[in-house]
Amino acid sequence: MFDLNTLPGGGGLVLTGVAYGVFALFIGGQIIGARTIEKSRFLPRCEQALVLAAKQDAPTLQTPVPTPDCNSIIGMFAGPEGKQLCNIVEPLFQNPLAGQIEKQNQELKDAYNARLKNAAAHASSSCKCAVNVQLEDRMPWALYAGSARLITPSKIRNLDAELFAALSSPVCAGRFQ
């Protein structure tokens, strides 16, 4: 069997180091990671970015071609009798596509508003998912916490990029779509 007392500094030092490493891996790294992400104010920025991204997909609405009404054509030349005639034949001057275009525009607006509402409602959950995905990789956080923040792994140096990459990962991207 391996004798810890033969090591330089004794077995107590080795066991203390192992205990410190385990503490950094399972507890300290997670606490430091959560506080670092909170301090970076990622959650509010992420929620705002998701809502802004949803707003950029605004639908292009069609405008119906204006058609002259009866009064502007007949009423101008025929006077009061023309206005009475226009009351009878007004439906002939209406653009039949205008109603369809208005209906289609309203459907586009409703779908856009529903998408915005959905994005705002689920932005917080998606952003928290990205934070959890980032914190799942314990080793960089354990190294960062265990070294008293003297060693900063690249995953922590590029924290924003890593968090937004986690946000678009398959785990979080399709979460509420």
d(CA 40, CA 161): 12
- The total number of structural domains in the chain stands at 1
Q: Quick check: is 77 in a domain? A: no
Q: Which tokens sit at 53?
A: 């991204």
- Domain with 168 in it: 4-64+109-173
Does residue 113 lie in a domain region?
Answer: yes
In a domain, 98, yes or no: no
Q: What stretches in the chain show pLDDT beneath 50?
A: 176-177
Q: Is residue 94 part of a domain?
A: no
Does residue 86 fall inside a structural domain?
Answer: no
In a domain, 10, yes or no: yes
Q: pTM to 2 decimals? A: 0.66
Residue 41 counted as domain residue: yes
Q: What is the pLDDT of residue 39?
A: 95
Terminus-to-terminus CA distance in the chain, angstroms? 56
The number of CA neighbours under 13 Å toward the Cβ of 108 is: 12
CA distance 29 to 14: 20
Q: Judge whether 144 lies within some domain.
A: yes
The predicted-structure confidence for 28-38, as pLDDT tens digits, reads as follows 999 999 999 99
